Amino acid sequence: SGSTESAGSISSLGRDRGLSMSSSQNKSLLHLRGTQKKLVLGMVGLPARGKTYISKKVSRYLTWTGYNCQVFNIGSYRRKLFGADKSNEFFDPDNLQGVEQRKQCAIAALEDMIKYFASGGHAAVYDGTNSTSSRRQMIMEYLEREGEHLGMKIEVVWIESICNDPEIIEANVRETKLTSPDYIGASASTAEADFMQRIRQYEKAYETLPAEADYPFVKIVDVGRQVITNQIYGYLMGKITHYLMNLRPNKCPIYITRHGESMHNLRGLIGGDSDLSPNGRAYGQALADFIHSEQFHEDDVDELTVWTSTLRRTIETASYLNIPTVQWRALIEIQVGICEDMTYADIEERYPAEWAARKRDKLRYRYPQGESYMDVVQRVEPVIFELERMQAPVLLIVHRAVARCLLSYFADYDQHDIPHLEVPLHTLLKLEPKAYGCDIKTHKLDIPSVEDEGPHVQTSS
């Protein structure tokens, strides 16, 4: 029968290699290993170098792939403990009171991070400037000591963002700092001048990660123009490094739609590789008309590329567009194994145990000889990496389960919501990037589909 990945089995950072273990197997493995591994990604960099941006992204990525991960932002501790109204003098390394108070914030964040690990967190991002060797040494020693105390091995990887292009820095300051809680009530020019001065205060004491360091780090230079790694080892660190190598602050929208209604949709069958129905073809045409209309952003359509799966219904939907198309096998619909070409009613009748297992845990339920939603998350990961690298708009014409997985990554939905996200047929979603996330706009095209006929009709995708 179809196996489910047990929810309680994600207790060590060694998971996520496509292995399915029962929880008893997993417990004995953990017992043999003795200590639990935890991972801290410590940010390093001057202000306005994208540390918070990178922190949120990498944390999102880890959460999406099944780890418990949280960001600990030292600036928020500073605001909470000592107030938001600190001018740049507070950050002067010669201001002894400022130095002491900033150290207290750093420790308060570390203490919470330890509590988070003790309560089941797997990984944490420690988001601050961490700009001197002595501060980083203090953090590593603290984590080693506290970890030992709690029977955890806490590994630290430093992620440094270096950028000396004044244009990028000014743009970053304008985009994210002028509206920061640090400058409520201040004019834009006062805020900008003070923030630039804050950067200079940090520059006085800044020490880059040394090439001879005997600990792991990843240095990102000029928004990914160069990536330097040191002592990166193992599966997870490797994956994170690969992710960081692809990460660019993207200003372009991502469009997502399901294929037009298929013949299988019409018949209520799941799986398969059917053609579009007449309404599905009408949607292909309507989508093309919309994308080439004035309503659609002119810059977007000029640079747009279209990505489909290798299944006929997506390729056929794209065929009306007359835009270069890339076919990704990684984007095919969730594989339903022995339930291929069946209706949901057939499955309930023929495989009641499978039906019940799926109802219990739709996220981790794996169709016999098929896939689970979590399998799809793993499968579409290369597409996510590529999208993070893209500097042009992309339209993805995909399938329902795949659209749900992609959407949950970009819009930061809880993992357990993935299988339940609403992605109706004949609807175009526009994901517009903003400072640390994205807005979603929904555009329903006026083409009927089997899904309009009532909530009792559950179509495949």
For residues 374 and 20, the answer to whether their CB atoms sit within 8 Å is no
Q: Is 246 annotated as a binding residue?
A: no
User: Of the candidates 108, 168, 227, 263, which one interacts with ligand ATP according to CB under 6 A?
Assistant: 168
* 245-274 residues near ligand ATP, rule: CB under 6 A: 249
Q: Is 312 annotated as a binding residue?
A: no
* 379-408 residues near ligand ATP, rule: CB under 6 A: none
Identify which of residues 224 and 268 has a Cβ nearer to ligand ATP in the complex: 224
CB of 171 to ligand ATP, least distance (A): 7
List alpha helices for 151-277, DSSP H.
Answer: 166-172, 188-205, 235-246, 263-267
For tokens 């029962």, the residue is 22
Identify which of residues 42 and 47 has a Cβ nearer to ligand ATP in the complex: 47
d(CA 347, CA 439): 37
Q: Return the ∠ at Cα 22 (arms to 17 and 24), rounded to 5°.
A: 120
CB of 80 to ligand ATP, least distance (A): 15
Catalytic, 333? Answer yes
Catalytic residue among 122, 259, 399, 426: 259
C-alpha torsion 227→228→234→238, nearest 10? 0
Residue 76 zone, left/alpha/beta (φ > 0; ψ -120 to 50; rest): alpha
Of all residues in the shown chain, the one whose CB is closest to ligand ATP is 50
* 72-91 residues near ligand ATP, rule: CB under 6 A: 75
* 195-234 residues near ligand ATP, rule: CB under 6 A: 220, 223
CB of 109 to ligand ATP, least distance (A): 13
In sequence order, what are the beta bridge partners of 439? 432
Burial 157-188 (b: 16+ CB within 10 A, else e): bbbbbbbeeeebbeebbeebbbebebbeebee
For residue 163, state whether it binds ligand ATP (rule: CB under 6 A).
Answer: yes
Q: Is 408 annotated as a binding residue?
A: no
Catalytic, 170? Answer no
For residues 279 and 447, the answer to whether their CB atoms sit within 8 Å is yes
3-class SS at 426?
A: coil
C-alpha torsion 232→237→239→245, nearest 10? -50
Closest CA to 13 of 34, 32, 35, 36: 36
Q: Is 262 annotated as a binding residue?
A: yes
* 96-135 residues near ligand ATP, rule: CB under 6 A: 129
User: Of the candidates 51, 364, 404, 430, which one interacts with ligand ATP according to CB under 6 A?
Assistant: 51
Q: Is 264 annotated as a binding residue?
A: yes
User: Of the candidates 48, 156, 339, 397, which one interacts with ligand ATP according to CB under 6 A?
Assistant: 48
**Residues annotated within a binding site for substrate:** 258-265, 313
**Catalytic residue list:** 259, 333
- Residues at the binding site are 258-265, 313
Which residue ranges make up the site for ligand ATP (CB under 6 A)? 45, 47-54, 75, 129, 161, 163, 168, 172, 175-176, 220, 223, 249
